[in-house]
Amino acid sequence: MSETKNKIIDGIIDREGGYVNDPNDSGGETNFGITLKVARKFGYTGQMKDLPREHAFTIYAERYWDALNLDLIEDYSERIAEELADTGVNMGVGRAGEFLQTALNAFNNQGSKYSDLVVDGDVGRGTLAAYSAFMDWRGGDGEAVLFRALNALQGAFYLDLCQKRQKDERFVFGWFLNRVS
């Protein structure tokens, strides 16, 4: 496991904090940001307040980092890998993948640099090839712009969510404070 992967996942766990059982949170009972449902899916059978950090780390590595192929994303940009990991944790890996695909489609100069992607949330071979082509083409400026686009999509989603589910207004300030940069 790479040092970068460890650092990013540890940072996410630190931001997520410890045990929470807020009845207004759609995620329900969580520890280290891991929901009861996800913990059970990954074989944890104990009380959520007792979830070991190491088990949470393993879940983050498998469910979020590996599912988004972030080792390959990190080859070009640790910053983009971290952004996608955090978005995947907070909004689901499919949505993080959709945000990446949407941004890459917008930045492909009408298909002249790489083909449009199907926006399906799957960060597979086609998405990774488009990401690689974009980063080779745009370099450091591309990293900065892609990071901003991913954050803009994330922020817009939070605002839209609050319009659909008023109860989430309670959380939106913290989402922007801790998730959108």
The residue ranges of every structural domain in the chain are 3-179
Tens-digit pLDDT string for the chain (181 aa): 689 999 999 999 999 889 999 887 777 899 999 999 999 999 999 999 999 999 999 999 999 999 999 999 999 999 999 999 999 998 999 999 999 999 999 999 999 999 999 999 999 999 999 999 999 999 999 999 999 999 999 998 988 888 888 877 777 777 777 777 7
Q: Residue 34 and residue 89: Cα distance in Å, rounded? A: 9
Structure tokens at 37: 């449902």
User: Cα dihedral angle (48, 9, 161, 73), rounded to 10 degrees?
Assistant: -150
Domain at 3-179: CATH architecture: Up-down Bundle (1.20)
Q: What is the pLDDT of residue 1?
A: 62
> Residue 30 phi/psi, 5° resolution?
-140, 160
Question: With contact defined as beta carbons under 8 Å apart, do 155 and 180 qualify?
Answer: yes
Q: What is the pLDDT of residue 39?
A: 96
Model-wide pTM > 0.85: yes
Q: Residue 128 and residue 132: Cα distance in Å, rounded? A: 6
Q: What is the pLDDT of residue 112?
A: 92
Q: Residue 82 and residue 100: Cα distance in Å, rounded? A: 13
Question: With contact defined as beta carbons under 8 Å apart, do 94 and 121 qualify?
Answer: yes
User: Cα dihedral angle (9, 104, 157, 76), rounded to 10 degrees?
Assistant: 20
Question: With contact defined as beta carbons under 8 Å apart, do 97 and 127 qualify?
Answer: yes
Give me the residue label for tokens 């591309």.
142
Helix (H/G/I), strand (E/B), else coil: 175 = helix
Q: Residue 62 and residue 42: Cα distance in Å, rounded? A: 10
